[in-house]
Structure 1
Amino acid sequence: MDDATQASWAKGELREVLSLMMIGTCVWFAGTQLGLFSLLLTFTTFHQLHDLLMLAICMSFGIAAAAIRKSLTLRRVMISRDLAQSSAASVARHDAMTGLANRRLFQETLDTRLASVQAPAPVAVLLIDLDRFKPVNDVYGHAAGDAILCAVADRLRALLPIGNVVARLGGDEFAILYDYGKDRETVGRLAQQVINALSQPLPWGESRIDIGATVGIALASPEISTAETLLHAADLAMYQGKRDGRGAFRFFQAEMGIALRARAQLEQELRLGIECGEIEPFYQPVVSLPGRELIGFEVLARWRHPVQGLLAPDAFITLAEETGMIADLTWALMRKACTDARSWPSHLQLAINISPLQLQDRQMPARILAILTETGFAPSRLEIEITETALVNDIEAARTALTSMQSLGVRIALDDFGTGYSSLYHLRELKFDKLKIDRSYIASVPLGAERAKLVDAIIALGSSLGLVTTAEGIESSDSVDWLAGQGCTYGQGFLFGAPMTKVATDRLLTEWTDGAGNLVLDRAANGPTLAIEPRTAAAA
């Protein structure tokens, strides 16, 4: 408190005392004039001192009232200050949204627990990271994201035994401090219970939101004996679980640090690679059956890494989906592919895959339209491929997105048919233009009649629904003849060409053009020889 404030406070107190003394004087004056003090004359020895005595008494009451009022005011201020300090301390150690302990309180509690017993303490830290949470705010809004975090907090509280601590460390990351006593096996059981609980769908309006959780576990040991080192070890274990496919728990092991550093570096390089245009489209031919006329290309991503060379999708697509970079990658790939294909014959189509996360984005049709408008590529030449996995979370959102794209003239293909969750249900509920038969079915055709019947049934199903069919992974001429005989519409595979660059594709178009200007594969050759990658399914 500065001097000016102190002086103002002192003047205020003096004014208050004088005011109350003046009130006492007024009471004395009124009492004297009205004879209210006459009853006290019999008890007063010196009558001449009566007026002065009553004045002093009245003024004393004023001073006493001022003192009492000040005392009560100070008490209220002290109580308010204590409450504010207690509230501030609670806020500083708890998450405002979920009410859980925050990182600070969690670390303090963990350090206290580790110091209270002789090392190593029977303490485990479970670090929980939500799966598929990042797109929620973009797709459903921040209110939905906040609701999910609160629901996760409630589910974790319900699971945790009394005496243990659950905290929200920040974002979609939670932590549990668990004292497992003499039974270390309970740590794994608790981690699995957490995964099961958080994998249950969360209702939001008329939709449901499916997330999940990956859990990293670190146990206190002589080498890992502080809150900081335990949290770091659990973080490494959690990232290992993410790399292994998510929805699992992993215990910390020393070698995990090396893998995590490599992943972090690859993530940084991928983000930079997307920004710098290192992810480029490769084009795999799609032909009609049985004539093998070229009808278009499927767009496949390749990363031209400055150090590691050309990388196939399995080296970076999963990472892009986990880190939320898949949307930027896909839109950049689509923009480049549409630009490349503008100079090709106008009947050739482009097929490009959309990730499950993108299908939940209500702005996806608008983004596609913006790219088509920017590049001048006709919507009727674009085909969007989606997998059944993308349809599971929210079929109504999928229906809206697909209808919007088809109204633009864009075709929709159901990719990898037969490998998803509920193929017939999706065919009934949604309108597709094409079925793509998964390569695993095509590869099984030569193995026996029973396998061939499955492919025949898919082709017949597509035909009965008015859908064209594309067989993926064709690698032999015998497969072409059999598929054509069953009524399969289109074929795609290394027999017709591996994914290739724009330059190689331009050269291919020149070589496949006959005298009449038609694009036809050379029937005498065993497929084109322009593929620049090994002819193996793994390279696709």
Structure 2
Amino acid sequence: MADKRKASWGSGELYDLLCLMMLGTCVWLLGVQLGAFRWLDRFILGHNLSDVFKLGFFMGLGAVAASVSKSIRLRKAMQQRDAAEAQASATARHDPLTGLANRRLFTERLDERRVAGSGGRLAVFVIDLDRFKPVNELYGYEAGNAVLRAVGERLERTLPAGSTVARLDGDEFAALVETGAGGEGLARLAQAVIAALSAPVTWQGHEIKVGATIGIAAADPEAGAADAVLHAADLAMAQGKRDGRGTYRVFESAMDEALKARARLEADLRVAIETGQIEPYYQPVVALPGQTVTGFEVLARWRHPEKGLLMPSTFISVAEETGMIGDLSYLILRRACLDARAWPGHLQLAVNIAPQQFQNPDLALRILAILTETGFQAHRLEVEITETAIVQDLEATRATLGALQALGVRVALDDFGTGYSSLYHLRELRFDKLKIDRSYVDSIGEGDERAKLVDAIIKLGSSLGLVTTAEGIETEASVDWLSNQGCDYGQGYLFGKPMPREEIDRRLDEGLLDTGPVEAPEIGPRAILAEKAA
């Protein structure tokens, strides 16, 4: 404790004062001994002053020196404080990675220029990078940082002099620009920015490519505060993302209404999944040519408390974009399995699985858990996937498909002919069934060329040991033609519209659905193995 008091005293101003006064005293003593102050002695004798005056004079010099020293230190401390405050202010208003303005500084400048007015057209660009997330995943965060720095440099080079460029957050940037009075200047500038950011970034021998989608909003005095202008530009950017990315959109008031409606739909959908408002409907699948019902495709219907019965086109894409599709699919599958337990044991259920789910390595385990919980037999279940799931990750698709087939679940490739499948995919992934998209079936009667395409798909499936189902059948003529070409199954309004469980139960009880008995034909790889064994 004594040492601490000593340290505190030693660093104090009183200590400095006493030291300088003692130094003055020592100078006085030294001067007396050496006779160096004769002029001061004559002054003292001439004015009848004592030697005490001489001592006080030198101690006073020490006090003055202490005061000057203190003043110098205070001035230096103030300069250091001002520099630290300026540095802190700059840090608080700039992005440390790119050196660009951050959101705080951007909104300050936007408000200043918006209120001051401008001779030209003042606008805000919100720029969101496309395909940036895979950069971090494939090359690491250092590569991602290099891309962000390159984006900041390109924006400053491309935008007009006097523009304010900012990094708002993550891979989102903003720019406050002034162009001519017309909208053509904004369009040209947005296109130039997209082109500049689409050029590859070279990093450690790799050429990394990203893109950009831009939202534009006017920043005139009537547009509201900075946050409102940024929000409008962000809405326009989101619309550009929905329209396909790599483009620009200018804010319109309808976008705000659309966003609010979308937000309400998302909230309602979350509640609907939690409370079970979404239920399975069942559309018959029949064997050709006899039209005996062999099973049902499970389709989702939302019984909205205010809007009535909603079709999947209203909410499935929202569920996929928000990540709710997994919970929704498992809800529908569980209820369908419970419904179908009481139906004849040879009737199949076909359910659609979203591409995002098919990349999940736990999909087969989740489905097995539902089958175990409901007591539904695996061989009665057929999972349908679209071609999009294949191209997203071939190896993940292969692993999931194999796991499902190991359980006894069959896998069908849905909407065949509308996506990216190749013969390589069909051979490597060993599907059980091909479903011919309704767009091909509808066109059968339009000419020989369309019919030849459907015939080719049926023959392709047969040559690979796959059975085929034609969707969207609405006429007896289509049934006859498809049967003659060797199509195995059919589905469409001709055989029945999607129905709730109660309607299926009633028709089964009244014998209005011809369900066989029918033995479903061996499908896909199983048929090939059986043929080889024979």
Shorter-chain TM-score category? 0.7 to 0.9
The answer for the alignment partner of 1:109 in structure 2 is 109
Tell me, yes or no, if the aligned pair for 2:355 and 2:389 is still in contact at 8 Å: yes
Counterpart-to-counterpart distance in 1, 2:192 and 2:352: 35
Deviations 1:492-539 (A, max 9, x none): 11111111111112223334589997269xxxxxxxxxxxxxxxxxxx
Q: Cα distance 1:86–1:469, how it changes in 2: closer, same or farther (>3 A)?
A: farther
Q: Cα distance 1:182–1:171, how it changes in 2: closer, same or farther (>3 A)?
A: same
Superposed counterparts of 1:106-505, under 5 Å: 106-118=106-118, 121-128=120-127, 151=147, 154-155=150-151, 157-159=153-155, 160-161=158-159, 163-170=162-169, 173-181=172-180, 184-192=183-191, 214-221=213-220, 223-224=222-223, 226-241=225-240, 244=243, 248-505=247-504
- Residue aligned with 2:176, SS: strand
Counterpart-to-counterpart distance in 2, 1:501 and 1:279: 11
TM-score by length of 2: 0.74
Q: Cα distance 1:199–1:10, how it changes in 2: closer, same or farther (>3 A)?
A: same
Counterpart-to-counterpart distance in 1, 2:515 and 2:354: 39
Q: Cα distance 1:18–1:255, how it changes in 2: closer, same or farther (>3 A)?
A: closer
- Residue aligned with 2:261, SS: helix
Q: Tell me by how many angstroms 1:95 deviates.
A: 4.7
TM-score by length of 1: 0.73
Counterpart-to-counterpart distance in 2, 1:516 and 1:124: 65
Counterpart-to-counterpart distance in 2, 1:331 and 1:306: 22
Higher CA-based Rg:
2
Q: Tell me by how many angstroms 1:458 deviates.
A: 0.8
Counterpart-to-counterpart distance in 1, 2:210 and 2:317: 17
Q: What residue identity is the alignment partner of 1:341? A: A
- Residue aligned with 2:497, SS: coil
The answer for the alignment partner of 2:527 in structure 1 is none
Counterpart-to-counterpart distance in 2, 1:294 and 1:145: 55
The answer for the alignment partner of 1:34 in structure 2 is none
Deviations 1:148-174 (A, max 9, x none): 687466436424426434434346654
Superposed counterparts of 1:10-29, under 5 Å: 12-13=11-12
Counterpart-to-counterpart distance in 2, 1:143 and 1:342: 49
Q: Cα distance 1:402–1:228, how it changes in 2: closer, same or farther (>3 A)?
A: same
Q: Show structure 1 runs of 5+ residues with no match.
A: 29-36, 46-56, 521-540
Q: Tell me by how many angstroms 1:187 deviates.
A: 2.4
Report the count of equivalent residues. 496
Q: Show structure 2 runs of 5+ residues with no match.
A: 39-57, 520-534
Q: Tell me by how many angstroms 1:471 deviates.
A: 0.8
Counterpart-to-counterpart distance in 1, 2:218 and 2:301: 41
Identity of aligned residues (%): 56
Counterpart-to-counterpart distance in 2, 1:101 and 1:260: 28
Q: What residue identity is the alignment partner of 1:270? A: L
Q: Tell me by how many angstroms 1:451 deviates.
A: 0.7
Counterpart-to-counterpart distance in 1, 2:433 and 2:201: 32
Residue 92 of structure 1 pairs with residue 88 of structure 2: no
Tell me, yes or no, if the aligned pair for 1:417 and 1:423 is still in contact at 8 Å: no
Counterpart-to-counterpart distance in 2, 1:417 and 1:235: 37
Q: Cα distance 1:124–1:14, how it changes in 2: closer, same or farther (>3 A)?
A: closer
- Residue aligned with 1:316, SS: helix
Tell me, yes or no, if the aligned pair for 1:282 and 1:501 is still in contact at 8 Å: yes
Counterpart-to-counterpart distance in 2, 1:41 and 1:118: 79
- Residue aligned with 1:399, SS: helix
Q: What residue identity is the alignment partner of 1:111? A: D
Counterpart-to-counterpart distance in 1, 2:95 and 2:101: 6
Q: Tell me by how many angstroms 1:292 deviates.
A: 2.3
Which has the higher mean CA deviation after the structures are superposed, 487-496 or 180-189?
180-189
Q: Tell me by how many angstroms 1:331 deviates.
A: 2.5
- Residue aligned with 2:366, SS: helix
Counterpart-to-counterpart distance in 2, 1:129 and 1:272: 30
Counterpart-to-counterpart distance in 2, 1:514 and 1:150: 64
Tell me, yes or no, if the aligned pair for 1:388 and 1:423 is still in contact at 8 Å: no
Q: Cα distance 1:14–1:421, how it changes in 2: closer, same or farther (>3 A)?
A: same
Tell me, yes or no, if the aligned pair for 2:292 and 2:514 is still in contact at 8 Å: no
- Residue aligned with 2:223, SS: coil
Q: Tell me by how many angstroms 1:374 deviates.
A: 3.3
How much is the aligned-residue C-alpha RMSD, in angstroms?
A: 4.9
Q: Cα distance 1:499–1:116, how it changes in 2: closer, same or farther (>3 A)?
A: same
Counterpart-to-counterpart distance in 1, 2:209 and 2:95: 24
Tell me, yes or no, if the aligned pair for 1:148 and 1:202 is still in contact at 8 Å: no
